[in-house]
């Protein structure tokens, strides 16, 4: 974003922006030029000199051929879902920082791009659901009769789920939510939603980083029984459950969808990882006997202005951490860099990513 370019230039950095980079967020090249950036027209020019390369998605095949040991790539790299792509970056000699691996610690909150983008996705998911439902969300009392409020179920009460709950409540819906982590109950109820809870036999449902753990077979069976009953009573279901590095858990089965009323909607935010609904088709909207199942990918891009604003601020905060007197300093003892650095010096240095690769590709 131009304001972040301006801040980086003021901090002593030279900023190069590819022509058209801000078009989707409604920012013209001239705005970047006015902020102090140099505008280049081609990818060759962009990668011509050693630099920190800030992207949204991982480098394309064409970009990989232009990377060298002088480049530091910062982007959503999906290292746990696609470790082979990290090995490809490592083979170029470039250093790479996976922004989604930044730890959820207090000092790193301003750099937490997963949370900022999940906020956008959770908000947008409810709007998609409301627009598709074909019914009012709030209770309405009119001369023509009373309109009952819609019932919304949110599965997963992380950042996206909590934003979905808040948005659905603001629109006037009756909201319920489920999460395997009992600790989020207070957050759910503080937003005015009802928390659905079951006693899970393993009792250990959350990782140290705050993510949900994969459940045992028995716990997953009990979870699905509860979810199936709740889904059948809902007009809109928003699913948000993800496990880093694993396929999304199936929470809404085909049998559960069959119990929903015609006209109901499922918005599956886990579509990129296969989906929380058994019938989700990633990238498509499916009509299953009158139930719309929305598997649209990359929901934050549908709100490009604010998604870009938040992501740009995340990156700015990370660059401040990595900068000393205008120079890049990669401190291996810093907890934030230690958790997010995936490759350097031609090798994969992140232990968890390395274990997903063959011994030849890992240190």
Q: At what angle do helices 113-133 and 304-322 cross, to 10 degrees?
A: 170
Q: Which of 112, 179, 235, 268 is catalytic?
A: 112
Taking the CA atoms of the chain, what radius of gyration do you get in angstroms? Answer: 22
> In this structure, what DSSP letter does residue 151 have?
E
What is the residue-wise DSSP string for 268-306? ETTGGGT-SBTT--TTSEEEETTEEEE--S-GGGGGHHH
Nearest C-alpha neighbor of 135 from the set 10, 244, 235: 235
CB 362 within 8 Å of CB 354: yes
Cα separation, 145 vs 132, whole angstroms: 23
Q: At what angle do helices 2-10 and 304-322 cross, to 10 degrees?
A: 20
Cα separation, 241 vs 268, whole angstroms: 9
Q: Which of 185, 211, 309, 338 is catalytic?
A: 211
Per the annotation, the verdict on 109 as an active-site residue is: yes
The pair phi, psi for residue 145, each rounded to 5°, is 125, 175
Per the annotation, the verdict on 115 as an active-site residue is: yes
Per the annotation, the verdict on 176 as an active-site residue is: no
288: β partners: 291
Per the annotation, the verdict on 211 as an active-site residue is: yes
56: β partners: none
Q: Which of 68, 107, 109, 305 is catalytic?
A: 109
Cα separation, 248 vs 46, whole angstroms: 36
Cα separation, 242 vs 244, whole angstroms: 6
Query: What proportions of the chain, in percent to the nearest 5, are helix, strand and coil?
Result: 40, 20, 40
The two beta strands, 38-40 and 16-18, are parallel
Cα separation, 273 vs 41, whole angstroms: 34
Q: Which of 3, 18, 82, 104 is catalytic?
A: 104
Cα separation, 345 vs 90, whole angstroms: 7
Q: Which of 115, 117, 187, 264 is catalytic?
A: 115
Chain Cα centroid distance, residue 289 = 30
Per the annotation, the verdict on 112 as an active-site residue is: yes
* Active-site amino acid positions: 104, 109, 112, 115, 211
């Amino acid at each position: 974003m131009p304001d972040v370019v301006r801040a980086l230039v003021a901090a002593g950095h030279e900023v190069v922006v590819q022509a058209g980079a801000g078009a989707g967020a409604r920012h013209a090249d001239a705005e970047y030029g006015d902020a102090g950036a140099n505008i280049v027209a081609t990818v060759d020019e962009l990668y011509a000199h050693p630099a920190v390369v800030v992207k949204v998605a991982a480098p394309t095949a064409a970009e990989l051929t232009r990377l060298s040991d002088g480049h530091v790539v910062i982007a959503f790299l999906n290292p746990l879902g696609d470790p082979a792509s990290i090995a490809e970056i490592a083979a170029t000699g470039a250093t790479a920082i996976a922004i989604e691996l930044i730890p959820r610690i207090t000092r790193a909150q301003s750099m937490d791009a997963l949370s900022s983008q999940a906020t956008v996705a959770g908000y947008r998911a409810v709007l998609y659901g409301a627009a598709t439902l074909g019914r009012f969300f709030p209770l309405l009392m009119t001369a023509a009769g009373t309109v009952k409020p819609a019932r919304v179920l949110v599965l997963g009460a992380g950042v996206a789920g909590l934003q979905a709950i808040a948005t659905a409540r603001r629109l006037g819906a009756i909201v319920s939510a489920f999460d395997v982590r009992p600790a989020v109950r207070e957050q759910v109820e503080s937003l005015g939603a009802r928390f659905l809870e079951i006693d899970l036999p393993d009792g250990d449902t959350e990782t140290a980083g705050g993510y949900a753990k994969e459940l045992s077979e028995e716990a997953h069976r009990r979870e699905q029984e509860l979810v199936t009953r709740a889904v059948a009573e809902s007009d809109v279901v928003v699913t948000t459950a993800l496990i880093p590095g694993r396929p999304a858990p199936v929470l809404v089965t085909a049998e559960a969808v069959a119990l929903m009323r015609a006209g109901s909607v499922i918005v599956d935010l886990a579509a990129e990882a296969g989906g929380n609904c058994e019938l989700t088709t990633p990238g498509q909207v499916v009509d299953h006997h009158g139930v719309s199942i929305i598997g649209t990918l990359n929901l934050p891009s549908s709100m490009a202005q604010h998604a870009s604003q938040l992501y740009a601020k995340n990156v700015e905060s990370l660059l401040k951490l990595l900068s000393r007197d205008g120079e890049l300093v990669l401190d291996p003892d810093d907890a934030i860099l230690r958790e997010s650095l995936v490759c350097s010096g031609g090798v994969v240095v992140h232990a968890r990513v390395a274990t997903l690769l063959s011994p030849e590709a890992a240190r």
